[in-house]
Every structure is written in C-alpha cells, then in structure tokens.
Amino acid sequence: MIDITETFRIDSRDIEEHFIRASGPGGQNVNKVSSAVQLRFPIAKAKGLTPQIKTQLARLAGRKLSKDGVIVIEARRFSNQERNREDALERLVNLLKKAAAPVVLRKKTKPTKRDKEKRLEEKQHRSKIKGKRSPFSQRAWDSGND
C-alpha cells in the first residue's frame, strides 16, 4: 500500500511498471540498457479511489491519460533505473495528492467604492501623461495659443 494522504492510499499492485530504453545521450550503453521507466496506473480499476478523486485525477492528468483511462508516466531523467522508478512513482503520488485535495471554490467579490475611485483616478492620470505626448496637447489649447 502506498500512502497518499492520511486517509487515502492506493494498492501498489494497481501500478504497472515497464522498463524501456531511454533516448538521448549515453554512448553505446544507451542502446543496451533499459533505464527509463513507463509507469501505468488504470484509474477505473484502482481500488480506494472515490468518484470525485477519479474525476479530478482524469482532469489533472491531461495528456498523461490514455483513451483507455490509464495514466502513463514516463521517467527518463536519470541514467539509473531505480532513480527513474522512484521519480515516476513520486510524480504519480504528487498527482494523486492534487486530485485528493478538496476543491476550493472562488468566492466572487465586488470591488469597493475606493477601489473604483482609485482605478478611475489612475486612468485620468495616465490619460494626462499620454495627452502631453501629442504635439497639440491639452496644454497648448489651454494656454490660448491658436
């Protein structure tokens, strides 16, 4: 069992690991050693997930979620197979923690009267600054030079 939160855990048997060859630099060794890890976690078959967590997990997974409802995480950052395995598992746990966190809805608020006044004052100030850039600025008209 893998603890996600104090009240939520998943069965480690639900996670499938496949070791694949990593692309990129590594010399001759890169073609011989399968150091990258492809971790697969089926959402529908996983035990201990509530419907809310499954929905949230599917939304958070994005491109990592296959059409079959399986989260696929590939880890190839390290040249060591064990470190890649730990990295993939850590990324899955972080994703599950985010999905298990309660969704906090934003409370709509209205701007205060002072905020509205301040915004209008700043707009007037900015308008005066930009007005001074014009060759026929407001100052030229105010001074009576026709």
pLDDT tens profile 53-109: 778 787 887 787 778 878 888 877 777 778 888 888 888 888 888 887 887 888 999
Is the domain of 66 the same as that of 18? yes
Is the domain of 92 the same as that of 127? no
The pLDDT of residue 94: 85
Q: Is 108 part of a structural domain of the chain? A: no
Look at 7-11, 28-32, 55-59, 139-143 and tell me which has the smallest mean pLDDT.
139-143
CATH code (residue 47): 3.30.160.20
Is the domain of 87 the same as that of 22? yes
Check pLDDT > 80 for residue 135: no
Q: Is 117 part of a structural domain of the chain? A: yes
Is the domain of 86 the same as that of 117? no
Please give the full DSSP string across the chain, using - where no structure is assigned.
-EESSSS-EE-GGG-EEEEEPPPSS-GGGGGT---EEEEEEETTT-TT--HHHHHHHHHHHGGGB-TTSEEEEEE-SSSSHHHHHHHHHHHHHHHHHHHHSPPPPPPP-PPPHHHHHHHHHHHHHHHHHHHTTSTT-HHHHHTT--
Is the domain of 30 the same as that of 68? yes
Q: Which structural domain range is residue 45 located in?
A: 2-100
Ranked by mean pLDDT, the top range of 56-60, 119-123, 133-137 is: 119-123
Is the domain of 61 the same as that of 120? no
The answer to whether 58 touches 7, Cβ cutoff 8 Å, is no
Is the domain of 16 the same as that of 60? yes
pTM for the structure as a whole = 0.58
The pLDDT of residue 40: 82
HSE, CB side, 13 Å, CA atoms: give it for residue 132: 5
Is the domain of 77 the same as that of 121? no
Is the domain of 96 the same as that of 120? no
